[in-house]
Amino acid sequence: MDGLTIRSATPADTERIAEIMGGEPGREAEAIAGSENRARRIWMEMVRMPGSSMGWQVTTVAEADGAVLGVLQAGDHESSMKITPGLVLLSLRVVGPLGIPGLVRRLRAQARVKPPPVAGAYKVQELHVHPGCRNRGIGGALLDYAEAEARAGGYSLMTLTTTTANPARHLYERHGFRVVDTRTDADYERYTGIAGRHRMVKELV
């Protein structure tokens, strides 16, 4: 895409990051949260939380004409949803006390389909493009940026996970990633309608 700039996010980008990452939740997020609205609220509030593992501090943005169009979160650590007091309070606000047992069951099913981390790899944690700007090369540009960062850091392997139903798998394959592990779970599929998740890797040689 012409005129695209990729830069580190700033605090001023927080709301746009939240909008892009949570504004249009995918099937998995909606099923785990219990509804599209709940998923949107959880994702957006997680981005906004001070010191969040999904906040602006760990985010790279793709920008054109002064507007952030895509976000990337990548590095040498495997992020996970840590149970913090803030997350517990957020969950209570969104799903209510009666909804917590169901949320916990769905999160456990999700955990069972997540392939284990790959030690020593550069990990693409989150890659999102605004729905109105997809298929314009923004996701590919962010992946290229991540690869350049990985190579500059001396990494020999990149990795990411994605659901078995995610059409973005084709983007990852075009950029040299391949599936090396697939985890499925009957409960996860019953909750989400998705068989499971893939671990994909790219060797940097």
CA distances, 205 to each of 61, 119, 156, 166, 196 (Å): 26, 18, 7, 27, 29
Please count the structural domains in the chain.
1
Distance CA 183, CA 104 (A): 19
Residues 35-38: contacts with CB within 8 Å, 24+ apart?
Answer: 38/94, 38/95
Structure confidence by residue, pLDDT tens digits, 1-21? 789 999 999 999 999 999 999
Strands (E), the chain: 5-8, 60-64, 67-75, 122-129, 157-163, 178-184, 196-203
What is residue 58's DSSP assignment?
G
Distance CA 197, CA 114 (A): 6
pLDDT for the residue 51: 84
- Strands 122-129, 178-184: pairing is unpaired
| Reported pTM | 0.90
The domain that holds 30 is classified in CATH as 3.40.630.30
Distance CA 181, CA 196 (A): 11
30: left (phi over 0), alpha (psi -120 to 50) or beta: alpha
Which amino acid makes up residue 148? A
Most trustworthy range by pLDDT among 75-84, 98-107, 117-126: 117-126
Residue 94 has pLDDT above 90, yes or no: no
Range of the domain at 95: 5-203
